[in-house]
Structure 1
Amino acid sequence: MNSYRTTIASPVLAGTGLKKSYSLTRALAGVDVSVSAGESLAVMGPSGSGKSTLLHCLAGIERPDEGQVLLAGERVDQLGEPQRSELRRTRFGFVFQSGQLLPELPADENVALPLMLGGMPRRRAVRKAREWFPLLGLAGKEGRRPGQLSGGQAQRVAIARALVGDPQVIFADEPTGALDQSTGMEVISLLVATTRSQGAALVVVTHDENVAGYCDRTVRVRDGRLTEEHGMPEGAAVTNAVAHAAEAAGLGHPADSYDADARSDR
């Protein structure tokens, strides 16, 4: 069993002894991995290596055959599907390669969707969602539908949707895979900066060394095992520079001043 853990802080998310097979194919062969609040972790590996399976197990999308997944000390793998679904909606956020925005909804309602699914009144949820648009360079795009956005703009909307509910962990599966290199680097730098500024952990599955270079650590998966782990000092320096620049530009947590008028929204 491989053991790779960060020592900089107590992990917010940890997988220990993770094993997963599909029929005769072994996807995970006993993996330990963890990520701390405010830290970004890149997971790399060739196609079929098990990196996406690792993400799915950590995110509660699939249960491992063996091992444990703990979120702030709570066993995720022992939860039933309704509880894991609730967890994915409230404490996790997701950014996918295609964005997976609903084409019939404007951008602000796409961002507000997790809040509305959680029972927040639509008007309040949309108002909270709109706070993210200027922070992510999307001012004026609130009413546009996904088909009216560029690929980079759509991924920024997806980032806002992932962060709007104040999750503890963000999972990003090839978040720049459908973008050109320049736009992709803008998106990953923004994703790392915003998750760090919110104190959320970030797990990025990628095949791109440049994307991994923006993350604090990189693990590589091959044949269901972690074959190496290394810090990315240059990437960490970029991360810090981006985060500081974001803070200087006023990138912080959106105003959370909605409780006072919550009753009028219901």
Structure 2
Amino acid sequence: RKILIKNKRLKPEVEKRQLDLFLKGIDTEGNNDNDVDSAANVEGEDGPAAFSDNAKLRDDDDEAHPELNVDVNDDASRRTLFGQLGLKLKLSSNLSREEEEALYNGYQYKGATTNIHPLLSSRVNYTQPIKFPGFSKAEERNIHYHMSSFSENVALQHLKQNPIEFVNYNKRQLSRIYPKGGRVDSSNYMPQIFWNAGCQMVSLNFQTPDLPMQLNLGKFEYNGNCGYLLKPDFMRRPDRTFDPYAESPVDGVIAAFCSVRVISGQF
């Protein structure tokens, strides 16, 4: 089983060296200082996500994931910033207003490096989050470790306009659906809509035990609550075509009806 973690994998050569030392029983703690900066930070500079137009995709990733754009008003960034300012003030307590503004304007956030055990690093399945380029462009690139995120409204629009293309997109790579920002009451949408398109990560507001959340719990109980459920064969094979809106039976699948009579129950 692989672990899906974003940007938390050592560079291949560092991972191999540290893992060999670990398996031989040699303590790798002494090597961490030299290898801290070797952790994969953003978009795998020397890892599996490196390719020719990496710079463009990095810009796309920043747009698709605003959490990567660090604001100096953020608490963590301010602590780092004020720590640097405090050091400057200790060295020179008579900074002018212009010098203080220059310190603020010249500050550049540096992401925390990853000090990860090589055995855990070897279990990481690397994915690269990018801004959705469109179905045709994604098919042309055919890069399986690219993952895009969609709000429920955007995903529903894609599903209505290009249902078959959305299903085929999810045969090659991952998609993540998240609730729209307007759900201030933490309500949920019906996840089955996007499961029908093969979307792998359909996020819900877990704090709300409504019908969509109960449906989500019931679906994954089918596989022992392990967190994964294999999609049907026709939603994985490239030689099969599936339209989520079609009323005709799916090729190779015999339609069946199931009736359930509920006498009583509780949640």
TM-score (norm 1): 0.30
Instruction: Specify which structure has the higher proportion of strand.
Output: 1
Which structure's CA Rg is the greater one?
A: 2
Higher relative contact order (CA 8 A, sep 6+): 1
